[in-house]
Amino acid sequence: MSDCQGSAQREIGIDRKVAFLGTSAPYPERPSRVERIETHFSWVFLTDRYVYKLKKPLRGEGFDFSSSEARRRNAEAEMRLNRRLARDVYLGVVPLTIEAGRDLAIAGPGVAIDWLVKMVRLPAARMLDYRLTCEDWHRADICALADRLARFFATARRVNIRAPAYLARFRAECRESRRALQSSGGPELQHAAQYVVRRIEAFVYCRKHLLLQRLDEGRFVEGHGDLRPEHVCLGPVPQIIDCLEFRADLRFLDPVHELAFLTMECERMAAHSIGRVLFGRYRLRTNDSPAPVLINFYKTIGALIRARIAILHLQESPVRDRTKWPKRAAEYLAIATRTAQHLDR
């Protein structure tokens, strides 16, 4: 980074960038309006036809977006990885620039001070979370999704994980989840988390052969890592967006883990029969028949992690929607508790 770019980056804070990108004037397509959405890691700007994502200058365990160069590298990784499952959605990485007169621009002639991931805006009515909310999902759509994922897993990069490291991953997730919920959750959340953690740890100790068999069979791939209904656009060829681009280790997983996680998220939205359709089609397409108890284990650990992520929102500054996150954590822990009861069968 040049001295000029470094100086400009220090002087242009995230608030000014968000204010600038929240208006219609900067965009070449001249949208009728711009919607702003704040997530934990990003600001997202939705125009009539496109989506522009700006990473926050954050740093944490396993990621560092604190510099413009780091955000550029991450944007390029996000583009490359997401094109695996949504090639026509991810259009490119676009610079946010500043000129000598202190004017910001999207892809202007000035110095690049930040980077935007540009995407096609997908129709809200085709997103899986919308369909679940409206109770308007169809078996054919879920079969098409399972087919798409089965093809993806069949061609995805195979990864090797050492058995001790793999088992340690689950124990670490339990430890971090227990700590987060003890720190920020109320007594009911703490009690539920303790129960779930004990059941997960017992499964890893007593039935680790089921987990290690998946490793021995070479099932593990570089997957999506965050397969939730809001990331799935249904259609004859489903588009799956927003993979977990900044933590390769969390993308290295068992395909059944990914499907179990999506099933769990659908169950939170009261779509309890999607898992049967999803796994039934997956088995048909792959001849992979995981034990039901393994699916329950993956659902349990996924729900526990999502409960942790929810409650950690209370440690943000400022906290967005303080009442939402304990309720969301309780929803996930209810699922984790229910599925954990089946881990000894």
pLDDT for res 11: 63
φ, ψ of residue 111 to 5 degrees: the values are -80, 135
pLDDT for res 40: 86
- Do 12 and 138 lie in one domain? The reply is no
Q: Distance between CA 51 and CA 71 in Å, rounded?
A: 17
> In the structure encoding, which two tokens stand for residue 5, read together?
């770019």
- Reported as half-sphere exposure (CB side, CA atoms, 13 A), residue 291 has a value of 14
- Do 201 and 321 lie in one domain? The reply is yes
Task: Please compute the mean of the pLDDT values over residues 56-74 and round it to a whole number.
Answer: 93
| pLDDT bucket at 188, cuts 50 / 70 / 90 | very high
Q: How many CB atoms lie within 10 A of CB 164?
A: 8
Q: Is the pLDDT of residue 200 over 80?
A: yes
Q: Is the pLDDT of residue 102 over 90?
A: no
pLDDT for res 100: 77
Domain range for 164: 128-340
Q: Is 136 helix (H, G, I), strand (E, B) or coil?
A: coil
- Do 169 and 270 lie in one domain? The reply is yes
| Higher-confidence position of 303 and 11 | 303
pLDDT for res 22: 97
Q: Which of 242, 243, 336 is nearest to 298 (CA)?
A: 336
Domain stop point among 68, 86, 121: 121
The long-range contacts involving 105-109, CB below 8 angstroms and separated by at least 24 positions, are: 105/26, 106/21, 106/26, 106/27, 106/28, 106/52, 107/28
Is residue 237 domain-resident? yes
Mean pLDDT of the chain: 94
Contact, 279 vs 299, CB < 8 A?
A: no
Domain stop point among 121, 143, 173: 121
pTM for the full predicted model: 0.93
| pLDDT bucket at 3, cuts 50 / 70 / 90 | very low
Q: Is the pLDDT of residue 221 over 80?
A: yes
- Do 89 and 173 lie in one domain? The reply is no
Q: Which of 105, 98, 143, 132 is nearest to 4 (CA)?
A: 98
Is residue 20 domain-resident? yes
- Do 98 and 218 lie in one domain? The reply is no
- Do 68 and 199 lie in one domain? The reply is no
**Distances, alpha carbon 134 to alpha carbons 66, 137, 178, 233, in Å:** 39, 8, 34, 15
Residue 140: exposure state from Cβ atoms within 10 A (0-12, 13-18, ≥19): exposed
Residue 191: exposure state from Cβ atoms within 10 A (0-12, 13-18, ≥19): middle
Is residue 345 domain-resident? no
Q: Is the pLDDT of residue 236 over 70?
A: yes
Domain stop point among 58, 92, 121: 121
Task: Please write the tens of the pLDDT for every residue from 21-38.
Answer: 999 999 999 999 999 999
Is residue 115 domain-resident? yes
Q: Distance between CA 73 and CA 188 in Å, rounded?
A: 42
Percent of the chain exceeding pLDDT 70 equals 97
Task: Please compute the mean of the pLDDT values over residues 144-171 and round it to a whole number.
Answer: 97
Any bridge partners for residue 105, and if so which? 97
- Do 237 and 303 lie in one domain? The reply is yes
pLDDT for res 73: 97
**What's the distance, CA 62 to chain centroid?**
15
Task: Please compute the mean of the pLDDT values over residues 332-336 and round it to a whole number.
Answer: 98
In the chain, the number of structural domains is 2
Task: Please write the tens of the pLDDT for every residue from 250-263.
Answer: 999 999 999 999 99
pLDDT for res 83: 98
Strands 50-55, 232-233: pairing kind: unpaired
- Reported as half-sphere exposure (CB side, CA atoms, 13 A), residue 53 has a value of 23
